[in-house]
Amino acid sequence: MKYISTRGEAPAQSFCDILLGGLAPDGGLYLPGIYPQVGAAELAEWRGLPYHALALKILQKFVDDIPACDLKMLADRTYSANVYRHCRPGRDAGDITPLTTLEPGFHLLELSNGPTLAFKDMAMQLLGHLFEYVLEKRGETINILGATSGDTGSAAEYAMRGKHRVKVFMLSPEGKMSAFQRAQMFSLQEPNIFNIAVRGMFDDAQDIVKAVSNDAEFKARYRIGAVNSINWARVMAQVVYYFKGYFAATSSNDQEVAFCVPSGNFGNICAGHIARMMGLPIARLVLATNENDVLDEFFRTGIYRPRATAETQVTSSPSMDISKASNFERFIFDLVGRDAGKVRDLWRAVDAGGSFDLRGTPYFSALPDYAFASGRSLHADRIATIRDVWNRHQVMIDTHTADGVKVAREHREPGLPMIVLETAQPVKFTETIREALGREPMRPKELEGIEGLPQRVEVVDAAVDQVKAIIARHC
């Protein structure tokens, strides 16, 4: 399997070669040269497999430069009941991603049972093991630079804490995460973890990561890698739970399903797009945004118009407070027929602070072929949805999942099972849960009092040079 850049000016590379690098040298994102296909016989074989075994089957489709026995060891080590032990009462942790049925044909796929109580653990735990494995084999080290709006940072830090040959430098928008999210990240005291709070929004932090990654000399000198969803391995790992969710919600491979995915950076739903391109019977991919509705606007109008920092709203579903969706480039690459030149033209405008408009083009006409729909949810919607799901089903959901449930309800079709991807556990957003329900969310006992632990973080301006200086100081 060879991987190519969405911008077409970087050489094709193997999985292990792209694993450590993040962005391609030409500024693009890596994708498989061709999507592997899964036919009816394999779907039948895979139905009923435990999560770690299903993960191995799918990973083998994308990774051919790690021996099968080693890949099995990594999958087994990652997807265990002990790692994903924070499931709802009465659920089997061994399922890894249990399915909660709210009503016939309407389900939640639980993705937040890992160490940091967010779906990012599903991929990040694997990424930590992959990094350690490849670095040890090569005798190399890496300095991970990432940006987070809440959950990616803690998931990356918990996956990489104490790992040999790895340091993590994680940027986050100062004061924009929940108290629990900040505590999860900033309370870590491992010497290989460095938290950096940026005065600004998530997009400012993400722009710094891209700027550093595009500085070839600095990137090479300090061995900069990435764990944001610009890293292909993140998206690859997320493909697995679409297959698992499909099998859990259906009894036959003749059935189709719809997935609704809360998404700000387009990484989570991009994995769904890839699962569908591989042959998984997905009839509809419904994207849910919050008030920062750049992606919803595109799927409704054909206009992709990233917002400036000043236009990005601070909301009660902060992990989606994003106005530049990094992974969106991967989908557009497919939408324009994998024409890298066209992608370069479109992102030349985006990278310059502009937008693009596909209305009236064959590309916009082809959009229905990819089965996307979209909608948005506002603060009042998520409060009402959290309250309704609790009152009707005695199931407590977080703010982002509430956005998904609200939009999913608007797109239900008779006879088509709808699966909403849960993004996090409610305790990560205690303030909003109190507002909606007048009660405290439950939390795992081992995480009680986490907000009172000593915190370690360095605050900087939204300036590339300041971040580079911190990296240089510690490397």
The residues annotated with a catalytic role in the active site are: 120
Nearest partner of 22 among 143, 126, 148, judged by Cα: 143
Cα(252)–Cα(246) distance, integer angstroms: 10
DSSP string covering 140-171: --EEEEEE-SSHHHHHHHHHHTT-TTEEEEEE
| Distance in angstroms (rounded) separating the CA atoms of residues 112 and 323 | 24
Q: 289: Cβ–Cβ under 8 A, 6 or more apart, which residues?
A: 262, 263, 264, 295, 296, 320, 374, 375, 376, 377, 403
Which residue in 320, 325, 287 sits closest to 399, CA to CA?
320
Q: 244, 304 in Cβ contact below 8 A?
A: no
